[in-house]
Structure 1
């Protein structure tokens, strides 16, 4: 994952009041910026990068030449909204976190069908509706206190939302996510 995406996620963690990196002696950790987190969550109701109240929290990470509909810009806005919806950062890729959620549900006597079918819908989605599926899945993760690696998610979304990445780039991301999900299924079943 890119250092730029990691830096962006650290910024989001600071907005959430999490101790990230160095603290200033005598000042400690900044309190949670509830207004920022609410604006980022609310931004999920709009096309990524179009909700003005989210601009102050994402635009500092965009280059001065980033076009309005740039894939990277849209990916960062979507990732920020998803983080605000479920601010649990961990080292697991998104699809692997979903696999663990599915197995947790099975272990509790439930079914993993809902998680798997939503993942399949996500993997079949295009850049225009990927946010809708990610929002649903992120809500499922949040309900079970599951998190994901938001920096890796941001990098993947930069490719997913880029119409110039071609089908090869998008197919690589989809296959990687499917592998991450189903390899956990195989390792747990064995």
Structure 2
């Protein structure tokens, strides 16, 4: 999965980061309200997002990613350069001690089409926000830009991060003293 962004796409994320100030609370509130439905359908977001979308992304499925990422960022702007959403959700599930519920939600998210992603992603961001877990916005944005890839490279990468083999449990078991009988 490409985890890089074009110059214009990176500039868009920098713009979102610049909004994370008290002076821009109103803008962030408008962007957050876009999560009440599908953000690309909320015309109030256009004045803050549309002018950042390069012509090459306009009118394509990638255009939705800009609106969705803007609304999600406004909900939870805490950022990291590590992992992808699968890794973030795995950590959230472990911290909540509720892996089964997290797996169900995450599976719904992975199976959603781009037009149906807003609700499961909003739920995921809300959980990450409650647990004060940061998001790799570059990886999330890149993933959304490639969400409809027929090979499902984004979904597979996130799933592999979520269900990745964790050898710590095995090491804890094998490092325990063995009782001799």
How would you bin the TM-score normalised by the shorter chain? Answer: 0.7 to 0.9
> Runs of 4+ in structure 1 displaced over 6 angstroms?
none
Q: 1:72-151 maps to which residues of 2 (within 5 A)?
A: 72-91=62-81, 92-106=83-97, 111-151=98-138
Q: CA RMSD for the aligned pairs?
A: 1.9
Question: Between Structure 1 and Structure 2, how many residues are aligned?
Answer: 165
Is residue 176 of structure 1 aligned with residue 157 of structure 2?
yes
Contact 1:102/1:112, CA 8 A, preserved across alignment: yes
Distance, in Å, in 1 between the alignment partners of 2:14 and 2:23 is: 13
- Provide Cα deviations, 1:4-39, integer angstroms capped at 9, x if missing partner: 33322221111012xxxxxxxxxxxxx440111001
Contact 1:14/1:32, CA 8 A, preserved across alignment: no
Distance, in Å, in 1 between the alignment partners of 2:39 and 2:101 is: 26
Contact 1:95/1:181, CA 8 A, preserved across alignment: yes
Contact 2:108/2:120, CA 8 A, preserved across alignment: yes
User: Highest CA radius of gyration, 1 or 2?
Assistant: 2
Identify the residue that residue 13 of structure 1 maps to in structure 2: 17
Gapped regions of structure 2 (runs ≥ 5): 171-181
TM-score under structure 2 normalisation? 0.82
- Provide Cα deviations, 1:83-119, integer angstroms capped at 9, x if missing partner: 111111112311111111111223xxxx222211100
Contact 1:48/1:75, CA 8 A, preserved across alignment: no
Tell me how far 1:187 sits from its aligned partner: 4.2
Is residue 54 of structure 1 aligned with residue 45 of structure 2?
yes
